Amino acid sequence: GIQSHISGEMYMSAVGVQMVHVPYKGTIQAVNDLVTGQLQVVFSDMVPAIPQIKAGKLRALAVTSTERSATLPDLPTMVEAGVPGFNAGVWWSVLAPKGTPSDIITRLNAELAKVVKHTEVMDTYKRLGVNTEHSTPSQVMERVRAEGPQMIKIFKEAGVEPE
């Protein structure tokens, strides 16, 4: 997947090493190939990796986010593991069409805030290795503006062309 590829590119750029990118349609097959010894390292999201880690078939080295995972709290972040400033944590946002009235945006944001606080939702996300966080629309835009230039730089270094 693209996030795994970008995480790997960010790591190579941060530590000055070269690795061969092996394209996969998703991380499940890549994780399976890591278990069978066909790959040496994979940047994976938590969902396919957690069962293999808990079964003792894989050794997790670090999480790529700035905070430790609630699911694997003993696993260090990349920064804690010695890669200064590394942050390839994945985040999602809910988008609305340009021109959506601000009262609709405000209501949608308030309802989403309620949903992510439900115990069942939080438990599901924790089981999947996802840390939950609610942001305001302005906080999301600040994050896009802050992280956008870094992503563009990584894409260019990796030779990734917009499609």
Q: For the chain, give the mean pLDDT.
A: 89
Q: Using CA atoms, how far apart are residues 79 and 86, in angstroms rounded to an integer? A: 6
| pLDDT surpasses 70 at 160 | yes
DSSP the chain: -HHHHHHHHHHHHHHT--------SSHHHHHHHHHTTS-S-----HHHHHHHHHTTS-----BSSSS--SSSTTSPBTTTTT-TT------------TT--HHHHHHHHHHHHHHHHSHHHHHHHHHTT-------HHHHHHHHHHHHHHHHHHHHHHTPPP-
Q: How many domains does the chain have?
A: 1
Domain-embedded: residue 101: yes
Q: Domain with 149 in it: what CATH number? A: 3.40.190.10
How confident is the model at residue 109, as a pLDDT? 94
Domain-embedded: residue 163: no
Domain-embedded: residue 40: yes
pLDDT in tens, 16-59: 999 998 988 888 999 999 999 999 999 998 889 999 999 999 99
Q: Determine the structural domain holding residue 151 and report its residue range.
A: 2-158
How confident is the model at residue 88, as a pLDDT? 87
| pLDDT surpasses 80 at 101 | yes
Domain-embedded: residue 142: yes
Domain-embedded: residue 118: yes
pTM for the complete prediction?
0.73
| pLDDT surpasses 70 at 1 | no
How confident is the model at residue 36, as a pLDDT? 97
